Amino acid sequence: MNILSAITSPRPTDDFALHFAQPLWLGAGLLVCAGLLALFRRCDRRREADLAQFIHPRFRLRLSGGLSPRLRQIKRGLWLLALMLAFAAIARPQKGYEWHEVKRKGIDILFAVDTSRSMLAEDLTPNRLERARLGILDFVARLGGDRVGLIPFAGSAFALCPLTLDYDAFRESLHALDTDIIPRQGTDLASAIKEAERLFDESGNNHRVLVLLTDGEDLEGSALEAAKAAAKNGMAIYPVGVGSPEGTTIPLHFPNGRSDVLRDSDGQVVKTKLDEATLRKIADDTGGLYVALGRGAEGLDTIYKEKLRLVPQSELSQRMERIPLERFEWPLAAALALWLLEFFIGERRRAKTVRALPSAARRITVMVAGGLLLLGSEGSGLAAEAPSAVPDARVVYNQGTELYAKGEFSKAADSLRASLRTPDLALQQRSYYNLGNSLYRTGQGTAEKDPEATIKTWEESIKAYQDALALNESDEDALYNKALVEKKLEELKKQQNKEDQKDQKDQKDSKDSKEQKDSKEQKDSKEQKDSKEQKDSKEQKDSKEQKDSKEQKDSKDQKDSDKEVAEAKERSKKQEMTPEEAKQLLEELRSDERTVIPIPQQRRTRTLTPDNSTKGKTW
C-alpha cells in the first residue's frame, strides 16, 4: 500500500482518522507545485544570464547588494506550500462523522393549476384559485423527501417551477400565481399534461404523479388523448375538481372600485360549472383518482394518502445514514495565512549601520593621519595573524586618498579602484567620488602633450562621478564636479576639432597650390612649344625667299632662338618657389599650429575652487 492510499483509505475501524474524499487533487497539487518550482529555477537562470550580459560583476554587487536570495527562497517556499494546502482543501479532507435521518421515497409530484378566469369564481372561499393555492401549501408541508414542481395553465401551459427539493422556491412560485400570468385565456388541459410529461422525461424515472387542479371545462377537447399517451409512459394523473357542478358567475373587479360579472359578446352572464365527467375519465385512463377539492382541501389529503400506496414500503422507510464531516476549512485557512505572511515578507536585507568615514572634504589632515595610523595598526596585525590575507578596503581607500594628497594622481586612481571591491555602499560611493577627482587631475597633466589621452581620462572621470551619484544622488559635490569636468571636456574637444579643421585646411591649400603650380608649368611648356613651331615655320619661309643669305640668317635665328629659350626658362624659374620662400611659408604654418586656445581656468574662490579633498570640489 502506497502513502497516498494509506492517507485516503483509512481502516474501517478508525472512524475518526483523517482521509480525503477526492485524493486525486493531491496528486494534481504535487504536479503543479513541481512544475512551478522548475519554472522558478529556469527564471533564475535566465535572470542570471541576462544580468551577466548587461551588468559587470563588480556593479552587480553594488546594485543587488540589498537583495537577499534567502528571503526570496523563503517567500517562494511559503507560496508553494500555501498552494499545496489549497489543493488539499479541494481534495475534501474529512475527519469524524454525524448521523442524519434520510427519507427515501422516490416520487416526483407536479401540480398543474388552472389560472383561467373561471378560477375567480367565489363558490369556494375566498375563490377557487386561492383555495387551490392554500390546499397545495398544506399538501407540500406534509412531504419529506419528494420532488415537487408547478405548472400554471390556461389557453397554454409552461413550467413555472421545475421539479425540485427546494420547497421554499416552490412556495415562492406558488404565491406568484394569478389569472394574468398566462396572456392566452381558455382552459387547455392537454397542454398541461404534455408539459408535465416533458418535465418528467427530463428528471428521470421516478414515480410520476400529476395533480391536476381545475374546474374541468376542457375548451380544447383533447385532454383525454393526451392523458392516455401520458399513461403509457407511467404517469398517474390525479384530477382535483375545483368548484361546484351547479355553476356560478365569474366576478370582475375594476380599478375604480366597481364590480361586475363576466359576460359574453351578447351581454349574457357567463357561468362556470365543474365538469366532473371529464376529470373522472382522465383519472380512470391513467390509473389515478378523481377527488373534489372541497372547502377545506380534503381532496388533496385523500390524494396524499392514496399516492403513497404506489411506492414500496422499503422506499418509504426512514433510516439513519452516517455523513462524514468536511474539514476543508483547516487547510484553506492555513493556505490563506501563509499567503498573507508571504505578502508581508520583503526581499531586501535590513540596512546595516556603517561607521561613518572621516570626511576628507573638510578634514583632510585628520583623514591622512587616521589613515596612516589605521594602516600601521592593521598592517602589523595582519602581518602577525595572517600575512597573506587580503587588505581591508578601508586601508586601500586611505592609501588612495593619501596618494591624492601628495599629488600622485595616477597611483591614487589605482588604489581607489582597488577599494571598490567591498559590499559597503557608503565606502563605494566615496571611492567613486575620489576616483573621479584623481582621473581629472591625471588628465590635466596630459592635456598639452596628449589631448586624446586627456579626453579618454576625463570621460572615465565623468563615469566615476555618475557611479557616485547612482549611490547617492544628493551628493552636491559629485554633481558639481561632474558638471565641471563635462564643461572642460567639451572645451577640449572643440579645441581639438578646430585644430583638426585647420590641419585639413592647410593640407587642402598646399594641395591647391601644388596643382596651380603644375598647371602653370604645363601652360608655359605649351607656349614654348608653340613659339618653337612658329620659329621653325618662319625659318623655312626665309630659307626659300633668301636662299643666298641662309647661313647668315641661320646664325641670327640660332641666336634669337637661344635668347627665347633663355627667356622662357627665366619665366619658368620665376614661377617656382625659392628655398627661402618655402622656409618662410613653413615657419608661418608652424606658427599657426602653436596657436592653441588655452583652457579657461576658473577663478579660485571659496565657492568654485575649494581645497583638494575627498568630499569637496577638487578644483
Residue positions counted in the chain = 619
Q: Express each pLDDT in 450-479 by its tens digit.
A: 888 888 888 888 988 888 888 888 888 888
User: Rounded to whole angstroms, how far apart are CA atoms 309 and 321?
Assistant: 25
CA distance 291 to 398: 113
160-164, 439-443, 500-504, range with greatest mean pLDDT: 160-164
Identify the bridge partners of residue 241 per DSSP, sorted by sequence position: 214, 292
Lowest mean pLDDT, pick from 79-83, 235-239, 257-261: 257-261
- The closest alpha carbon to 574, from 524, 500, 505, 509, belongs to 524
Nearest CA among 338, 321, 419 for reference residue 62: 419
| 431 in Cβ contact with 395 (< 8 Å) | no
Kindly state the average pLDDT of the residues 235-243. Answer: 89
CATH for 364-496, options being 2.40.260.10, 1.25.40.10, 1.20.20.10, 3.90.1150.10: 1.25.40.10
Cell of 560: 634669337
**Residues in CB range of 280: below 8 A, 6 or more apart:** 239, 290
Alpha carbons 310 and 257: distance in angstroms, whole number: 49
Measured over the CA atoms of residue 500, residue 505, residue 506 and residue 508, the dihedral's sign is positive
Domain ranges of the chain: 3-97, 105-316, 364-496
> Grid coordinates representing 242?
375545483
Query: Whole-prediction pTM value?
Result: 0.39
- DSSP for 592-616, please give it: HHT-PPPPPPPP--TTTS--S-SSS
Residue with cell 565623468: 462
Choice between 350 and 127, residue whose per-residue pLDDT is larger:
127
Task: Return the top range by mean pLDDT from 71-80, 344-353, 436-445, 509-518.
Answer: 71-80
pLDDT for position 427: 86
The topology under which CATH files domain 105-316 is Rossmann fold (3.40.50)
**pLDDT tops 90 at residue 32:** yes
Tell me what percent of the residues of the chain surpass a pLDDT of 90: 14
Question: Would the pLDDT of 365 be above 50?
Answer: no
pLDDT at 384: 40
Helix (H) or strand (E) holding 324: strand 318-326
Q: What is the pLDDT of residue 218?
A: 65
| Residue 397 grid cell | 581607500
Q: What is the DSSP letter of 447?
A: T
- Least confident window among 207-211, 540-544, 573-577, 592-596: 592-596
- Identify the top-confidence range among 2-6, 86-90, 465-469: 86-90
Residue 128 has pLDDT above 80, yes or no: yes
User: Which phi and psi (to 5°) does residue 266 adopt?
Assistant: -90, 0
| Rounded Cα distance, 199 and 111, in Å | 12
Q: What per-residue confidence (pLDDT) applies to 77? A: 92
pLDDT, tens only, 505-517: 777 777 777 777 7
Instruction: Copy the grid coordinates of residue 222.
Output: 383533447
Q: Considering the chain, what is the average pLDDT of its residues? A: 75
Query: What SS3 class is residue 132?
Result: helix
582 burial type by CB count under 10 A (0-12 exposed, 13-18 middle, 19+ buried)? exposed
CA distances (Å), 333 to each of 288, 327, 330, 341, in order? 55, 11, 5, 12
